[in-house]
Amino acid sequence: MESKKVFLENEKVKIEVLPLGAELCSLYHKQHRLQYLWQAGDAWPKHSPVLFPIVGQLKENRYTHQEKEYSLPRHGFAREKMFSILEQQEDRVIFRLSDDVSTRKNYPFAFHFDIHYQLIDSEIIITYSVTNTGPEILFFSVGAHPAFRVPLDLRDKYEDYYLEFDKEEHSGRWPLKDGLIDVTPTPFFNSQKIHLTKELFSNDALVFKKINSKQIHLRSTKHQHGLTVTVNACPYLGLWAAKGADFLCIEPWQGIADGVQATGKIAEKEGIQGLDAGENYQYRWSIQLF
């Protein structure tokens, strides 16, 4: 099913969003004449998928709820679903995904999942809103997976870029075993910076818990252009790039993959949110281009 891209624009930036997955697919700064978002390709066919109703992978791709077993793919199904448009203006749009016969086969919950995009100056503000429209507790997680172009300037090298956190970090890296979180972390941080190399992701994503920083800056040693991801209250963070690819994913997560010792019960899953009937949950994050 094809649907036209949605365009939002102000004096400084222009963005494009695909109704399929409500996926951001272009982040263009008009004054800098720079495209900040990975434009898909052989290394990875996505731009910025939204992760719902789970983040990461389930153990054996299965979970149980009320003694029944269900299956969900890694990162859930929202990224492969067509969203409707609830509201659109020149500088903002609201997309919606609701439960239907196809979702209830492996996710027996009633919901509205709304994704808001809004432009303010050179900042893109993204809000995820989940409403429980059913009679029982809604169990879910939500997360972002944007891939930013590195290098931004084709005259640069990948190694000319680094991440700078706004606070000191002491979290270890939580290794992945076949997509599942291992039992113990390994030491990682010794400063507020991570210098980028393509070898960083040779053993899959870098996964962190209990990040102190509210903002993560992607900067270059060669020029002043970059971006800031404001993650706000973010219990989990993923950093990832496909092997040899010219991008970096900075992923604020409100959930995480199953651990290797997970019970499989969705109500006991680490990072899962439980939302009572009629309640609404919101998470807001943003991307500032400079």
Count of domains forming the chain: 1
Enclosing domain of residue 152: 7-289
CATH number of the domain residue 180 falls in: 2.70.98.10
Q: Does residue 27 belong to any structural domain of this protein? A: yes
Average pLDDT, the chain: 96
Rounded to whole angstroms, the Cα distance separating 95 from 93 reads 7
3-class secondary-structure state, position 165: strand
| Domain-located, residue 220 | yes
pLDDT (mean) for 248-259: 98
Q: What's residue 87's pLDDT?
A: 97
Residue 106 counted as domain residue: yes
- β-partners of residue 228 are 217, 288
- Read off the pLDDT of residues 153-182 as tens digits, 9 standing for 90 and up: 989 999 999 999 999 998 899 999 999 999
pLDDT of the residue at 281: 98
Residue 1 domain-assigned?
no
- Between CA 76 and CA 32 the distance in angstroms is 35
Tell me if 222 is assigned to some domain: yes
Strands 92-98 and 84-89: antiparallel
Prior bond to 53 cis, omega within 30? Answer: yes
Q: Are 276 and 210 in contact (CB under 8 A)?
A: no
Cα–Cα distance, 16 to 208 (Å, whole number): 30
| Domain annotation covers residue 141 | yes
pLDDT at 82: 98
Would residue 2 count as lying in a domain?
no
List pLDDT tens digits, range 100-153: 999 999 999 999 999 999 999 999 999 999 999 999 999 999 999 999 999 999
Model pTM score: 0.96
Residues near 28 by Cβ (< 8 Å), separated by ≥ 6? 13, 14, 15, 34, 35, 36
Residue 171 has a pLDDT of 87
Is residue 265 included in any domain, yes or no? yes
The per-residue pLDDT for 2 is 52
Average pLDDT over residues 7-17: 98
pLDDT at 244 over 90: yes
pLDDT at 65 over 70: yes
- Residue 69 burial by CB count (10 A; 0-12/13-18/19+): exposed, middle or buried? exposed
